Amino acid sequence: MSALDSSPESSTGAVPPPEHLQEYGPPESPPLETLISHLVAAKRSLSSINHVWRANEIVTAARSTLEESVVVSARTRFLRSGLNNQLRLLYNVRAEVEEISLRGRSEFAGALKSLDAADARLRKTIGLLRETIVHASFRPEGEEPKSLHDFVDERGVEELHTSLRSSIDRTNAAQAELESSNSAFDDELQAIKKALGTYRAATKLASSRSSLSSSGSQSGSSSNLPSLSSTPSMVHFLETHAQEMANLLQSLVRHFDLCVTAIKHTEGGGAAAKSITGDMPAGVISGRGGSNSEGELNANLNAPLDPVSDSEYQQMVNVIINDAAEAEDVVMEIQDRIGEMETVIENLLTQRESCAAVYNATKDVFAHLSSLASTRLPGYIAQAHAFTGVWNEEHGRIKGGLADLSDLNSLYDGFLEAYDGLIIEVTRRKHVRHRVEKILRETRHKLDALYEEDVNARETFRVEQGDYLPSDIWPGLSREPMRIEFRRISGGPLKGVLQDAPNRSPEPGEGEREGEQHAHSHEIMSSNHGEVIPDLPKPLVEQALARLKSRHALGREEVPG
């Protein structure tokens, strides 16, 4: 349109120039009612000043929002710059603590398994000692039956078990404390994960809102409203719209001013103009509609009329009629522009809220991390070190106890094997005794035969030669041959065995007899003294021999290569 164009060059003045008026048709004088209706419509259009006020508020809010968003985004970037490194460090610490716990639990379980196996072997061996009854022939007559276990002092085993239980209990307590500490650590991590979830949700929501904003349009053309980087252009967009709306309102004020001027120059219109303009929209007179609105409007409402010619009046009326048709379009354009501005400011406020939400979520995560790192995290790390110290100390004791269990088992198992060996040794000695007895019997028979032969030969010699020999020529001439007696002497200690090892006292004269035996080894004197070898039943010997063979076969299988 012409008079309502927003540009100053095409705006309608109080009285249009003559060359402009030549564009319209022949002069017509519309009735006063028509001019009054145009004035009323022009006055009604001036209510668009509310939209201009709102546009000014929106621009102010947009600038403030931009400042707040920039500050909040800078703070968020500052917090996030170290957040990832802190999270990575925190999870590395948790992984190290968990590794300590898992390694300690695995080593402890392995040690317990070895202890259980060693203890089971020891208890099995002790059970065999209880089951193995010492044969009565080994013990004094009338004594109650005894097992091999009766010869074992188990106080060492009990003391070893007590020591191992103490180590196990202390390790269990340290492990329980570490598990409790790790559980509290995990609770801390869950709180941080929850805060991170809020942070991610806020970031995702901000991203989605930014995407929705960027798909909108501005002033009929596609103009992206993406993230904070586009906010300055959005503010500039609002400022441009506000300026355009002020210009459009100014053109409406000029149209209203022209209507007032025309009515005042119409006969009978002065009173009507004064009545209509008496309740102008608030703010129009104060100049809020534009920089020139106040002066122009006040001048036309209160200043005395300048005389105009009929042709000038007709030209003025023609402009009013022509612009009146376009005034409504100007009002609609102002409404459209304020609608777009409302959409843009809503997007800006939404972005500000999103930035604030992301900042608050980031600050919450950072607060969790700072609180954890400064107060509780050193305790979790110290608990892991404490468990490591306890476990290293008790692990050494458990290993020593395991070796002691193995040694005790070897000792008791050796006792079992030695008892079986004792049975075999008794059998061997019995066999040797039988061989000795056989030799003695054979020797006795030969000696007796020699004795009889010697006696007979001496008697024959005496009968044949005795009468010719004087009796004092040799005192032994008429004596019988010597006789040999076998004498059993109890054996003394074996070489390398202490003299007090046998639980007996030497018999009177035993030393002299041994010396006599060595001095006169050709004499064997008889005696009833000798060692007593137990008489063991054959099944007992066979069982002992079978157990010894089984042990030796098992030992060969365990030797590598």
Q: How confident is the model at residue 255 (pLDDT cuts 50, 70, 90)?
A: confident
Residue 527 has what pLDDT?
A: 41
Rounded CA-CA distance 248/386 in Å is: 79
Of the pLDDT bands very low, low, confident and very high (cuts 50, 70, 90), residue 298 is: very low
Top pLDDT among 144 and 551 is at: 144
Three-state secondary structure along 64-128? Answer: HHHHHHHHHHHHHHHHHHHHHHHHHHHHHHHHHHHHHHHHHHHHHHHHHHHHHHHHHHHHHHHHH
Percent of the chain with pLDDT over 70: 72
Query: DSSP code of 478?
Result: G
- What's the CA gap between 156 and 409, in Å, rounded? 12
The C-alpha atoms of residue 117 and residue 42 are separated, in whole angstroms, by 106
Residue 21: exposed, middle, or buried by beta-carbon count in 10 A (0-12, 13-18, 19+)?
middle
Cβ atoms of residues 273 and 264 within 8 Å: yes
Residue range 358-372, pLDDT digits in tens: 888 888 888 888 888
CA 544 to chain centroid: 59
Residue 247 has pLDDT above 50, yes or no: yes
What is the structure's pLDDT at 400?
A: 93
Q: Which contacts of 415-422 are long-range, i.e. CB under 8 A and separated by 24 or more positions? A: 415/129, 415/148, 415/151, 415/152, 416/125, 416/128, 416/129, 416/132, 416/148, 416/547, 417/547, 417/548, 417/551, 419/132, 419/134, 419/148, 419/544, 420/544, 420/545, 420/547, 420/548, 421/544, 421/548, 422/138
Q: Tally the C-alpha atoms within 13 A of residue 280's C-alpha that lie toward its C-beta.
A: 22
Residue 348 contacts residue 65 (beta carbons within 8 Å): yes
Residue 392 has pLDDT above 50, yes or no: yes
Q: Above 90 in pLDDT, residue 486?
A: no
**Which range, of 105-114, 184-193, 207-216, averages the lowest pLDDT?**
207-216
- Please give the single-letter amino acid code of residue 370: S
Is the pLDDT assigned to residue 504 strictly greater than 60? no
C-alpha 508/C-alpha 527 separation (Å) is 14
DSSP 8-state assignment for residue 133? B
Residue 296 has pLDDT above 50, yes or no: no
Domain that holds residue 347: 8-93+232-369
pLDDT at 385: 92
User: Which residue did the predictor score with more confidence, 44 or 502?
Assistant: 44
Element (H, E) at 218: strand 217-218
What is residue 21's predicted lDDT score, i.e. its pLDDT? 38
pLDDT score, position 23 = 42
Comparing 104-113, 149-158, 160-169, 262-271, which segment has the lowest mean pLDDT? 262-271
Contact yes or no for 92/189 (Cβ under 8 A): no
Written as six digits, the tokens of 222 are 């596609």
* Gap between the Cα atoms of 93 and 422, Å rounded: 63
* Residue whose structure tokens are 């044969």: 135
Would you say residue 121 lies in a domain? no
560 pLDDT tier (thresholds 50, 70, 90): low
Residue-level pLDDT at 210: 61
Q: Is residue 257 part of a domain?
A: yes
List pLDDT tens digits, range 93-131.
Answer: 989 999 999 999 999 999 999 999 999 999 999 999 999
**Angle at 77 (CA atoms; ends 76, 82), nearest 5 degrees:** 105
325 domain-assigned: yes
pLDDT higher than 60, residue 535? yes
Residue 60 lies in a domain: yes
pLDDT at 333 over 80: yes
Of 195-209, 217-231, 255-269, 462-476, the one with minimum mean pLDDT is: 217-231
Give me the chain's average pLDDT, please: 77
pLDDT score of 417:
92
Nearest alpha-carbon partner for 30 in 241, 343, 420, 319: 319
Q: Say if 201 falls within a structural domain.
A: no
The pLDDT value given to residue 147: 92
Summarize the confidence of residues 337-344 as an average pLDDT: 88
Instruction: Give the pLDDT of residue 455.
Output: 93
- Where does the pLDDT of residue 290 fall: very low under 50, low under 70, confident under 90, or very high at 90 and above? very low
**Is residue 319 a part of any domain in this protein?**
yes
Read off the pLDDT of each residue in 307-320 and give the average, rounded to a whole number: 70
Using only the alpha carbons of the chain, give its radius of gyration: 65
Residue 129 lies in a domain: no
Tally of domains in the chain: 1
Beta bridge pairs of residue 222:
217
Q: Is the pLDDT confidence value at 438 over 90?
A: yes
pLDDT at 173: 94
Closest by alpha carbon to 172, among 390, 403, 382, 399? 390
Is 303 part of any domain? yes
Q: What is the pLDDT of residue 134?
A: 92
pTM: 0.58
* Strand (E) or helix (H) holding 221: strand 221-222
- Could you tell me where the DSSP H helices lie in 25-48? 32-45
Identify the pLDDT of residue 153: 87
Q: Say which residue, 151 or 281, is predicted with more confidence.
A: 151
* pLDDT over 70 (residue 549): yes
Distance CA 228, CA 206 (A): 10
- Cα separation, 474 vs 502, in Å, equals 50
**What pLDDT, on the 0 to 100 scale, is given for residue 223?**
32
What angle do the packed helices 310-371 and 155-214 form, to 10 degrees?
Answer: 170
Residue 7 has pLDDT above 60, yes or no: no
pLDDT of residue 185 exceeding 70: yes
Contact 206/358 with Cβ under 8 angstroms?
yes
**pLDDT higher than 60, residue 297:** no
pLDDT (0 to 100) of residue 221: 35
At CA 176, angle to CA 170 and CA 181, rounded to 5? 130
β-pair partners for 218: 221
